[in-house]
Amino acid sequence: MKVRANEVLILNGKYTAINTPKGIVLVLFTLLLVMLPLSLMRNSNESSPTISTINNSLENSTEVKQCNIFTGKWVPYPEGPYYSNDTCHWIINEENCMKFGRPDREFLHWRWKPDECELPLFNATQFLQLVKGKKMVFVGDSVGKNQMQSLLCLLSQVSEPEDISLKYTSDVTYFKRYYYADHNFTLANLWSPYFVKASDADPNGHTFDSIMRIYLDEADEAWASEVEDFDIVMISAGHWFFRPLLYYENGQLVGCNKCGKENVTDLSYLYGYKKAFRTAFQTLIDLKRFKGVTYFRTFSPAHFENGDWNKGGNCVRTKPYTKEEMKLDEFVLEVYLTAVEEFKAIEKEATQRGLQFSMLNTTEIMLLRPDGHPNNFGHARDENKKYNDCVHWCLPGPVDTWNEFLLYMLELGQTSSSSKL
């Protein structure tokens, strides 16, 4: 494929050509398969291709009834964030950009404005009233935990929880539980970056890019054995599927992603991503005691520029993209559509079983925020860190908007149903 210099977009550590005939055919073919319309941008003077065009064609949980809150733009917001690294002690070092010297502040002064309405500000008191007597859990990888830590900070305006993690596990780095006694509310995360059973396959041990085995038809018991006790489940995953992986089904090796092994078919990252989401969703609706509400948060794109994540890539921008500047590359589109397709398929079955599945669509809004990542401000300057972080999000930062979405959807579910969550 011939690539012109001004047609390359670097996202998630990939260089992707825009506007090539082959690229257009690939995207159109993908969209035809899932029966969703999208027009690709030919040049910067035309309408930017956005996931919002897909949003408008999805029913029920993707488009919130009163207002499609996921289609809009980032607008200047002089008031700034809800909290700071001084007022919230729950921020971990990896996301504490202000603590470690990030010099710019403009990225803190933007707010998401839906096209059809005003997104209400986060109200911690209201949120805690809605979840009183409930248990909420984030299932997935560290980006999901990123959202939970944002929620801890947002709620700290009115209430501080007790960390009760040690009552449930000795691994308190990856499995956290917090209890808000004044509202009898539990907030937790269950670490499972693949949703399915996984193990290291590299004899030299685990590294950032070592090969792993994942068993695509076997749910990870780390979350599957615990999730029935929760009333609200936020499920998400993404970036771990791009590393070298060996795929197993029915106990047999069926293929891989970037494994480089002879006689093993490379099925690509999308194969594992699709099958893992399918297993996770099916596990939830098959659990006999599970009666909770499930929120599927869509893919959160990275913004590596000037190289891949492990080849000096960074994210130094200080303001959002405009929709004219943003180009939706094939990689992000494929990842987004793959998981959405699985969600839409299981949503119908969940409804038949009396379960509520909803989608928190964060892909397009975060694609617009290359300025929101820690980059090299997630650690002390004297620490020897090899890679910049353009995957996770600074706290405070644009990730707080996800919890504004969550509150909006929780309230909508409360008012549109005769029974509480």
392 part of the active site: yes
E strands present in 91-230: 110-114, 135-140, 162-163, 175-180, 185-191, 196-200, 212-219
Q: Report the amino acid identity of residue 67.
A: C
Return the exposure string of 192-219: e unless at least 16 CB atoms fall within 10 Å of the residue's CB, then b. bbbbbbbeebeeeeeeeeebbbbbbbbb
Whether the per-residue pLDDT at 2 is higher than 80: the answer is: no
Q: What is the average per-residue pLDDT within 342-354?
A: 94
Q: Report the amino acid identity of residue 277.
A: F
Comparing 1-10, 276-285, 348-357, the range with the smallest average pLDDT is 1-10
CA angle 289-292-295, nearest 5°?
135
CA distance 292 to 340: 20
Whether the per-residue pLDDT at 364 is higher than 50: the answer is: yes
210 part of the active site: no
What is the Cα gyration radius of the chain?
Answer: 21
| Two tokens, residue 102 | 């990030």
When pLDDT is cut at 50, 70 and 90, the band that residue 308 belongs to is: confident
CA angle 145-150-156, nearest 5°?
125
Whether the per-residue pLDDT at 354 is higher than 80: the answer is: yes
User: Which comes out higher in pLDDT, residue 89 or 40?
Assistant: 89
pLDDT digits (tens, 9 = 90+) for 3-48: 222 222 333 333 233 333 434 334 333 443 333 333 323 233 334 4
CB contact at 8 A, 55 and 61: no
Predicted pLDDT at 42: 29
Q: Report the amino acid identity of residue 237.
A: A
Predicted pLDDT at 52: 54
CA distance 75 to 226: 40
61: nearest Cα among 284, 295, 274: 295
pLDDT digits (tens, 9 = 90+) for 93-115: 999 999 999 999 999 999 999 99
* Residue-wise DSSP of 260-307: --TT--B--HHHHHHHHHHHHHHHHHH-TT---EEEEEPP-----BSS
CB contact at 8 A, 262 and 165: no
Q: Give the chain's mean pLDDT.
A: 85
| Two tokens, residue 364 | 């397009």
CB contact at 8 A, 272 and 216: yes
User: Which comes out higher in pLDDT, residue 388 or 51?
Assistant: 388
Catalytic residue among 48, 142, 150, 236: 142
When pLDDT is cut at 50, 70 and 90, the band that residue 77 belongs to is: very high
| Two tokens, residue 417 | 């149903």
pLDDT digits (tens, 9 = 90+) for 119-166: 999 999 999 999 999 999 999 999 999 999 999 999 999 999 999 999
Whether the per-residue pLDDT at 415 is higher than 90: the answer is: no
Q: Reduced to 3 states, what is the DSSP secondary structure of residue 179? A: strand
CA distance 376 to 141: 20
Catalytic residue among 141, 358, 392, 400: 392
CA distance 394 to 92: 10
Cβ neighbours for 131, distance < 8 A, ≥ 6 positions apart: 183, 185, 231, 232, 410, 421
Predicted pLDDT at 328: 73
Whether the per-residue pLDDT at 380 is higher than 90: the answer is: no
User: Which comes out higher in pLDDT, residue 247 or 172?
Assistant: 247
89 part of the active site: no
342: nearest Cα among 211, 136, 195, 192: 195
Catalytic residue among 141, 220, 371, 389: 389
When pLDDT is cut at 50, 70 and 90, the band that residue 204 belongs to is: confident
- CA dihedral (138, 139, 145, 146) in degrees, to 10, reads -80
